[in-house]
Amino acid sequence: MEVQGFADGRFGPVRQCFAEILAAQPGTGAAFAAWCDDRLVVDLWGGYADLGRRRPWGADSLVQPYSVSKPFAAVCALRLVQAGRLDLDAPVQQYWPGFRAPATVRHVLSHQAGVVMLDRPVPTEAFYDWDWLCSLLAAQAPAWEPGTAHGESALFYGHLVGELVRRVDGRSVGRFLAEEICGPAGLDFAFGLSPSQQARAVDLTGLDDAFRAGSAAGRPALYQLSIAPGGPRRSPPSTATEPRRRWPASTAP
């Protein structure tokens, strides 16, 4: 399919490179944008948005961005810090009684809390049940003493930060983000999609067993556990493997 969008004259090679990538990759399409000196200088998209290759990728297509969602969750917590309602150096237990890891709010936000995995396998359904998964995280012993090391909480950062937001503010992190951050700023970004937003969502492809095995090859055991709760055979849900409306509708970051 033809590449849509524009690239500033200075970035002509970017359009060509994007076209080559788009032509070579299987599955759904792609999009790329870049800002320079406070200006949008590249905004490109192309390919198909669905697995059946019937729906073209559009300018308003929505994509699950994986870890790009983490800063959005963090901004929600930092807005509460700015308002004096959340203390970065307070223990998490001050806001979340029963949270086992002796971590501070700062530790959670900066990936130092050590809550990066679950000791036992959990069913996929746990990812759609906010309270259930948060209770599992609260009971989880940290993989290291909080504050002594860094390690990305790849699958659970949104729940850890989002639950702090919910306990302090009363709103879910998805609702807080919509009402306090993205709505006022005019950002087309959300945790949990409405039916109309789901109609614009892109199917993800390529996240098969071979991709996961290649990503985990040569990595320490803790890495493998942190991206597959309870062990490598247990994987998080994705829009490529789960019912189309179930995962996108989830409010989990």
- Joined together, the tokens standing for residue 126 give 């746990």
pLDDT: is 124 or 153 the higher one? 153
Q: Rounded to whole angstroms, how far apart are CA atoms 228 and 117?
A: 8
Give the pLDDT of residue 234: 41
What predicted TM-score, i.e. pTM, was given to this entire model? Answer: 0.86
For residues 163 and 76, the answer to whether their CB atoms sit within 8 Å is no
Q: Taking 80 as the threshold, does the pLDDT of residue 249 lie above it?
A: no
Q: What is the pLDDT of residue 196?
A: 93
- DSSP assignment letter at 104: B
Q: What average pLDDT score do residues 215-232 get?
A: 70
Q: Quick one: what percent of the chain has pLDDT higher than 90?
A: 71
Least confident of 27-36, 69-78, 82-91: 27-36
Residue 74, CB half-sphere, CA atoms under 13 Å: how many? 14
Whether the pLDDT of residue 235 is over 60: the answer is no
Which tens digits make up the pLDDT trace of 92-139? 999 999 999 999 999 999 999 999 999 888 888 898 899 999 999 999
* Mean pLDDT for the chain overall: 89
Higher pLDDT among residues 217 and 137, named by residue: 137
Tens of pLDDT, residue by residue over 162-185, are 999 999 999 999 999 999 999 999
| Residue 175 CA from chain centroid, whole number | 16
* pLDDT for position 250: 62
Question: Of 98, 96, 101, 93, nearest to 117 (Cα)?
Answer: 101
pLDDT for 251 beyond 70: no
Catalytic residues, by residue number, are 67
